[in-house]
Amino acid sequence: MVVSASTTKITWELLPEDFVLDDEPVDNVNQPSLAAALTESLELAGKLPETALATTNYGICATVNGKFVIKAPDWAYVPQITVSREQIQRSYTPHKQGQIPAVVMEFLSDSDGSEYSNKHTYPPGKWFYYEQVLQVPNYIIFQPDIGELEIYHLQENGHYKLRSPSENNRYWLTEMELFIGVWPGKRENRQGYWLRWWDQDGNLLLWGSELVQQERLAKEQERLAKEQERLAKETAQQEANQERLAKETALKRLEELEKRLRDAGISD
């Protein structure tokens, strides 16, 4: 498949088996945790179909003007792949192996700002690659140290435009049918800002640890409810016993009074 632009010829070719992929360390020490958290909550909520692909630091490929270009976003979501997972273990080529990513994310670090690079010449910058080559609908740039989130949506003119958040500082991603936003909190001993998903009703998609805690709280609430029910029954039984004893005491006193009256020769 070929896509031609004024100065750029884009084709979708598979990488040769012997192509050497870069094995560079991630730019941000928080990248693995941030990416894993995004994928985990999707999977646990049943929002990650078997034919979908969520990637982290994984090569997404195209051939630009006859040269292979591979970018490995910190996180990406492909709605549907059309080949087996065995065929995409090393890298992924859109159009050839499935749909283009619906979302790509970059987590900012103290780097040179390559996330905003619109460099056209080889190798192209990330911005140019995601916008003009892959034409990804949603490009997300997140700065975890300060919790700053930028979401760019691909317009009809073929260029990204910065979006504004909703009233609760979230963004609706139509392609995923979910909201995304910044959430301050703690996970895996990291206290800071995280990216989280919410469904259309505003329900937070939980992590595994939160589901465990939720289940634990539910069991504790159930235990407390049963304990309260038991105490209520015991209280009711005690009140019934006290009422019975009061009646028995009153009846005994009445019988004693009647006996005294009879002994005194006083009777009805």
Contact 267, 259 (CB under 8 A): no
**What is the DSSP secondary structure assignment for residue 2, as one 8-state letter?**
E
Q: Is residue 167 part of a domain?
A: yes
pTM of this structure: 0.82
Pick the closest to residue 80 from 54, 52, 61 (CA basis). Answer: 52
Same domain for 152 and 238: no
Give the pLDDT score at 193.
97
Q: Where residue 18 sits, what CATH number does that domain have?
A: 3.90.1570
Whose CA is closest to 120, among 64, 174, 79? 64
Same domain, 126 and 231: no
112-147 residue pLDDT tens = 678 888 999 999 999 999 999 999 999 999 999 999
- Model confidence at 190, pLDDT cuts 50, 70, 90, reads very high
How do 9-11 and 59-64 pair as beta strands? antiparallel
CB 81 within 8 A of CB 42: no
Q: Domain limits at 229? A: 220-268
Q: Identify which of 103, 96, 108, 85 has the alpha carbon closest to the alpha carbon of residue 47.
A: 103
Cα distance between residue 123 and residue 79, in whole Å: 27
Same domain, 81 and 135: yes
Report which of residues 254 and 175 the model is more confident about: 175
One domain, residues 201 and 244: no
Q: Are residues 89 and 193 in the same domain?
A: yes
Query: Do 168 and 35 share a structural domain?
Result: yes
The pLDDT value given to residue 3 = 43
The verdict on 226 and 93 lying in the same domain is no
- Is position 215 within any domain? no
Whether 27 has a pLDDT exceeding 70, the answer reads: no
Is 105 domain-assigned? yes
Residue 158 to residues 79, 132, 155, Cα–Cα distance (Å): 21, 7, 5
- pLDDT at residue 66 tops 90: yes
Pick 113 or 172 by higher pLDDT. 172
Domain end point (choices 152, 171, 206): 206
Interval 252-263: pLDDT, tens: 888 888 888 887
The predicted structure's pLDDT at residue 260: 82
Nearest to 128 by CA among 142, 114, 140: 114
Confidence of residue 8 (pLDDT cuts 50, 70, 90): confident
